[in-house]
Amino acid sequence: MTHSMKTFSFSDTSLAKISEILTHYPAERKASAVLPLLDLAQRDSDGWLPTPAMEAVAALLEMPFIRVYEVASFYTMFNLKPVGKYHLQVCGTTPCWLRGAEDIMGACKKNLGIEKGGTTEDGLFTLSEFECLGACVNAPVVQINDDYVEDLTPDKMIEVLEKLKQGESIPKGSQIGRQCSKAVDSADKKNGAASC
């Protein structure tokens, strides 16, 4: 994978969304739309923000490039270097750590043959550690692109990885059938969890 992109242009779909997004802000405050525009630029750039994409956002919002770069480099949801098709973000905060996040990270490293921060040679997976995905009750949690995969074990994580390698869809949310953040007890396991 290359770490540079010489040109960038928003997709027609993104341009339509940008027009709609900008209606939510007074014209003199359109720089406030920097976060949603950076998100669209990242989606149009295969999951990362090359310099030309940030420059396009700056031009649309009539703001200095450095201000856009400051925002992009501050928020962890923006990637300043290429990521794989599947960006695996393993939560490493205390609740996930207590419930086995290190084992999940270890399973990913072993299965994919990469270290934290690495990308597989085929460009399919990037492995990152993330601080608090905010789904603590369903720990351990991994965010894969926009989706959460929760209540993981190392074996379940490997199942997820193998499905993704084969191009199959994966179940999102709890991997043990938990409904939302409902507590899991023996009655739930026996009778099935009630929906929220």
* 27-65 per-position pLDDT tens digit: 999 999 999 999 999 999 999 999 999 999 999 999 999
Mean pLDDT for all residues in the chain: 91
Cα gap 163→166, rounded to integer Å: 5
Neighbours of 102 (CB within 10 A): 15
Q: What's the rounded mean pLDDT across residues 60-75?
A: 97
Q: Summarize pLDDT for 96-121 with one digit per residue, the tens.
A: 999 999 999 999 999 999 999 999 99
The amino acid that residue 88 corresponds to is: L
Dihedral angle sign, alpha carbons of residues 93, 80, 113, 115: negative
Percentage of residues in the chain with pLDDT exceeding 70? 91
In the chain the domains, ranked by start, together with CATH numbers, are 12-74 (1.10.10), 86-181 (3.40.30.10)
pLDDT at residue 193, as a whole number: 47
pTM: 0.84
Q: Is 192's pLDDT higher than 50?
A: no
pLDDT at residue 190, as a whole number: 47
pLDDT at residue 181, as a whole number: 76
How does strand 86-91 pair with strand 142-144? antiparallel
Q: What's the rounded mean pLDDT across residues 137-165?
A: 96
- The DSSP element (H or E) to which 136 belongs, if any, is none
pLDDT at residue 5, as a whole number: 67
Tokens of 82: 């290429």
pLDDT at residue 4, as a whole number: 56
pLDDT at residue 185, as a whole number: 67
pLDDT at residue 132, as a whole number: 92
Q: What is the DSSP letter of 90?
A: E
Q: Summarize pLDDT for 157-181 with one digit per residue, the tens.
A: 999 999 999 999 999 999 988 887 7
Q: Is 75's pLDDT higher than 60?
A: yes
